[in-house]
Copies of this chain bind each other. A is one copy, B any other.
């Protein structure tokens, strides 16, 4: 498989009712690629500063991730995000964000990435997302994630890149912001009208909905009492979804739906710890075991 993930590699500082983490490895591309790499080799593109440690990059390499595209910007500092969650984990407040090298970076892909067939554009500037796509004219499938910052601040550029991708993966709040619709099925159908044939709306503890070929599907999330930090769960969801498709080299509806199940599973591990802690000791056997448990939880067919 040749799966490329584009987004941020960052340092996060997070406070939740489950504890505190200070300047730990985070970022949309980090989580997305880590989850995707359970399903096969994964490439990552992101700018980092001189403060990014080799230990972090080595950990990604050891998890089947090609970090050739993680480029150190001379004299630069890595993106930093600080935030906290309410006790219920339902509300997130950004306390500080310093884009640093992520504010504007050279999106030229390494030559060895130019044969990437599956592309996940994790959260980042739509202009950068578009610049990456334009270097991959022969790609088979591209999915995009975004967030309120770009929806509110770069809507024109976002609409352009939405017209170029096959799939959109956003959360409920972002879907409502993008469409002005509160009903999520209406929102998903409107989002499909913006270009992507495949629309996935993530709803956190409530699961996710998929609209593909005009047909709606809904998957409830894994139910757990073991939540420490939701940061990165949505990125893990997207990464595992695209990883499943790339690993099977199949973009049929059946595979997309299988990918949404795996996305739910990887997200469920992610929230069990800060940074990559929830995922670090997870094996593919663990993933399959939890997938079976999840399917048992949501099986209602007599």
Interface residues of A (CB under 8 A from B): 87-90, 182-186, 189, 203, 205-207, 209, 216-221, 223-225, 227, 254, 257-258, 260-261, 295, 297-302
Instruction: Pick the 9 closest A-B CB pairs, nearest first.
Output: A88-B182, A218-B220, A206-B206, A185-B223, A220-B220, A216-B223, A186-B225, A185-B225, A261-B300
Q: Are B297 and A298 in contact (CB under 8 A)?
A: no
| Among A220, A299, A302: residue with most chain B CB under 10 A | A220
Compute how far the CA of A299 lies from the CA of B297 in the bound complex, rounded to whole angstroms: 12
Task: Give the Cβ gap from A111 to chain B, nearest Cβ, in Å.
Answer: 38
Task: Give the Cβ gap from A122 to chain B, nearest Cβ, in Å.
Answer: 24
Copies of the polypeptide in the assembly: 2
Q: Are A299 and B302 in contact (CB under 8 A)?
A: no
In the complex, what residues of B have CB within 8 A of residue A183's CB?
A: 88, 225, 227
Q: Are B223 and A207 in contact (CB under 8 A)?
A: no
Task: Give the Cβ gap from A133 to chain B, nearest Cβ, in Å.
Answer: 30
22 contacts between A and B (CB under 8 A): A88-B183, A89-B182, A90-B182, A184-B205, A203-B206, A216-B223, A216-B297, A217-B297, A217-B298, A217-B300, A218-B223, A219-B300, A220-B220, A220-B298, A254-B302, A257-B300, A260-B300, A261-B300, A295-B300, A295-B301, A298-B300, A301-B301
In the complex, what residues of B have CB within 8 A of residue A254's CB?
A: 302
In the complex, what residues of B have CB within 8 A of residue A297's CB?
A: 216-218
In the complex, what residues of B have CB within 8 A of residue A300's CB?
A: 217, 219, 257, 260-261, 295, 298
In the complex, what residues of B have CB within 8 A of residue A298's CB?
A: 217-220, 298, 300
User: With contacts A87-B182, A218-B221 known, what are 11 further pairs, Cβ within 8 A?
Assistant: A183-B227, A185-B224, A216-B223, A218-B220, A218-B298, A220-B220, A261-B300, A295-B301, A298-B298, A299-B301, A301-B301
In the complex, what residues of B have CB within 8 A of residue A90's CB?
A: 182
In the complex, what residues of B have CB within 8 A of residue A299's CB?
A: 301
Compute how far the CA of A302 lies from the CA of B292 in the bound complex, rounded to whole angstroms: 11
Task: Give the Cβ gap from A44 to chain B, nearest Cβ, in Å.
Answer: 29
Residue of B nearest to A182 (CB): B88
In the complex, what residues of B have CB within 8 A of residue A220's CB?
A: 206-207, 209, 218-220, 298
